[in-house]
Amino acid sequence: MSGLTAHGMLAGLDEIAETGRDAHRGGYSRHVWQAADLELRAWFVERAQRLGLDVETDRNGNVWAWWGTPGPDAVVTGSHLDSVPGGGAYDGPLGVVSALDAIARLQATGFTPSRPCAILVFAEEEGSRFGIACLGSRLMTGALGADRARALVDPDGVTLAEASARAGLDPAHLGTDREALDRIGLFVELHVEQGRGLIDLGHPVAVASSILAHGRWRLTVTGQGNHAGATLMADRRDPIVAAARAVLAVQDAASARPGTRATVGRMNIVPGGTNVIASSVQAWLDARAETDEETRALLGEITTRVDEAVAENGCSVAVVEESWAGAVHFDPALRDRFSAALGGVPALPTGAGHDAGVLAASVPSAMLFVRNPTGISHSPEEFASAEDCVQGVEALEKLLRSLL
């Protein structure tokens, strides 16, 4: 990471390089309104104020840093600072640091914007604490209802209402923020690419064309808890065995449908004793495809196969949808305009969800991707070279200059 400091402008990533490090998982675990996230929010506010930006936190916990008077038709850029458990250094923070550095570069040339401009840092983009991705942008746009949000519970049993109150918000004010949305003339998010598109194309920067439809479902497999030594194999209703077969069914269903993706990346086993046959298993399914219909069809096949697998082990399963986001196609005119402004950079689809995708339903929205030589994300191996990061900042600066 130290290479970034050499470029000065991206020193921001160095400054937060120790915040939220996860010694157990590797990488970073930075989850909304917990210590690391609060530290990053404070870091962002200080960095923004150093640029003379006016900072405010909106009713949903998203942080706005205004260059000029907040007002209609603002050009807004930004991303998120929270991470998945054991996530990489760039997913989210690169967009925030690049926004800060692009504005610093504009200011350094004496540029004064002709319209309002803001950096926006969204709350809980990863959904790692409360289970719903893009929580802050979904609350803002009304894609997630405030009552449902308030009742969300984190793994420690803390409700979002309690957590937001502890962070200084009024939970009663969570919800659609028409005033905030009406201030946005256009939103553009810079993000590290999560995939190999730019590697294969040999370009450092791309614009986004689309985002897969994606949903999250909680599977609860229930069996019979019992003694590992006293229970004959034929007498067991073991939910871990049933869940294991369900995971294989997920793998088979998606592998048989080109372009779809389905993952079980998180499981909870109750009670979790070495000499105990479990009584229940929770497993979270993340399923995605190019269209809403394909994703729903994939889910249908998965649930059919899972029902069979679980029944064969004498267990039962309940499937509950926790999060859903339809496919996003970014405004083609804006996409092509940005691509042309940057010298004809490619337009790439992405399998990763983003706040820009949520906002696209309400305001003109676009994304820039910066090459990730590993192609890996949601892992400590996620990476972007200093040179490509600088290309990203220069591209964002160019777009902001033309828009402002």
Nearer to ligand HGY, 203 or 354 (CB): 354
Cα angle 333, 338, 344 (rounded to 5 degrees) comes to 105
Of the candidate spans 92-100, 127-135, 153-161, 173-181, the one that interacts with Mn ion by CB under 5 A turns out to be: 92-100
**Is residue 78 close enough to count as binding ligand HGY by CB under 6 A?**
no
How many residues appear in the chain? 404
**Is residue 355 close enough to count as binding ligand HGY by CB under 6 A?**
no
Backbone angles phi, psi at 24, to 5 degrees: -80, -45
For residues 26 and 397, give the distance between their C-alpha atoms in angstroms, rounded to a whole number.
Answer: 33
What is the C-alpha R_g of the chain? 22
**Is residue 384 close enough to count as binding ligand HGY by CB under 6 A?**
no
H-state helical runs in 172-281: 178-183, 197-201, 239-255
**Is residue 88 close enough to count as binding Mn ion by CB under 5 A?**
no
For residues 295 and 211, give the distance between their C-alpha atoms in angstroms, rounded to a whole number.
Answer: 13
Q: Do residues 9 and 104 make contact, with C-beta atoms less than 8 angstroms apart?
A: yes
353 binds, among Mn ion, ligand HGY, none (CB under 5 to 8 A by kind): ligand HGY
Residue 6's nearest CA partner among 397, 370, 389 is 389
| Token pair 């791309």 in the structure block, residue | 206
Nearer to ligand HGY, 214 or 245 (CB): 214
**Is residue 93 close enough to count as binding ligand HGY by CB under 6 A?**
no
Of the candidate spans 27-35, 41-49, 125-133, 313-321, the one that interacts with ligand HGY by CB under 6 A turns out to be: 125-133
Binders of ligand HGY among residues 130 to 159 (CB under 6 A) are 133
**Is residue 352 close enough to count as binding ligand HGY by CB under 6 A?**
yes
Q: Do residues 239 and 278 make contact, with C-beta atoms less than 8 angstroms apart?
A: yes
Of the candidate spans 12-20, 87-95, 134-142, 335-343, the one that interacts with Mn ion by CB under 5 A turns out to be: 87-95
Which residue in the shown chain puts its C-beta closest to Mn ion? 91
Nearer to Mn ion, 92 or 131 (CB): 92
Task: Catalog residues that contact ligand HGY under the rule CB under 6 A.
Answer: 125-126, 133, 352-353
Task: Catalog residues that contact Mn ion under the rule CB under 5 A.
Answer: 91-92
